[in-house]
Amino acid sequence: MKILLVEDDTAIATEMIKALRKEGFAVEHETAGKTALDVLPVVEPDLVLLDLGLPDIDGIEVLRKIRSEKLPTPVIVLTARNQTSSKIDALDIGADDYLAKPFDLLELMARIRAVTRRHNLQTSSQLSHGEVSLDLAAHSLTVGDKVTTLNRREFALLRELMLAVGRVKTRDALENSMYTMETDVGSNTIEVYISHLRRHLPKDFIKTIRGVGYVVPK
């Protein structure tokens, strides 16, 4: 299941991403409202976790835009504001649930489970594209009927690429995604891990965009 997390507080976001990934969710993280709206139709998340206090446009506006475009994606709103008015605004506009900060991560997981049940969402922990399937809980890669267990870095790298099918991921973005798990990612290690991954993947599954990064083409 893919979750789009829109949260500008990096400390909170880092904790949430860690916890969500542990539950087997694929997480795409955006720190501003405009970029969140841009990636929404591309990422097609199953659920949006939306902070209301964003640096560019108000989270309420992001929610309004999502609902005005008739996107059915469930949205759980997160906010530091505990005024009843913003809570009611969010629910009126079509938020599915509401969590006031600071919240317990276990409570967040419970709310996510409740919303996914209500929407009958597939809580599968697989990211699939063509004959390639990545198990987010087991860290295993299945291509056709061949199963390979990936190490942490290979897994993190492929997860970022498969979460962004059709979008080029820059080397910087990929390095950052690996940094969140481990320290010291040298500049040529991305190439090394890409070449490891390619041994298990169909030809041209990961395309190199010279001087920029990599993409899993649609």
- The Cα–Cα gap between 208 and 205 comes to 10
Pick between residue 5 and residue 156 the one whose CB is nearest to Ca ion.
Answer: 5
Pick between residue 54 and residue 134 the one whose CB is nearest to Ca ion.
Answer: 54
Q: State the pairing for strand pair 213-215/2-6.
A: unpaired
| Backbone torsions φ then ψ of 47, nearest 5 degrees | -155, 145
Tokens representing residue 63 in the block = 């929610």
Q: Which helix (H) or strand (E) holds 91?
A: helix 84-93
58 is a site residue for Ca ion (CB under 5 A): no
Q: Find, among 87, 47, 86, 85, the residue nearest to 66 by Cα.
A: 47
Q: Select the span of 53-61, 81-89, 104-112, 148-156 touching Ca ion (CB under 5 A).
A: 53-61
Nearest distance, CB of residue 134 and Ca ion, angstroms: 31
How many C-beta neighbours within 10 Å does residue 110 have? 11
Nearest distance, CB of residue 164 and Ca ion, angstroms: 24
94 is a site residue for Ca ion (CB under 5 A): no
Overall residue count recorded for the chain in this entry: 218
Pick between residue 77 and residue 174 the one whose CB is nearest to Ca ion.
Answer: 77
Pick between residue 8 and residue 175 the one whose CB is nearest to Ca ion.
Answer: 8
Binding mask 2-31 for Ca ion (x = CB under 5 A): ------x-----------------------
51 is a site residue for Ca ion (CB under 5 A): yes
Helix (H, G, I), strand (E, B) or coil at 147: strand
Site residues (vs Ca ion, CB under 5 A): 8, 51, 53
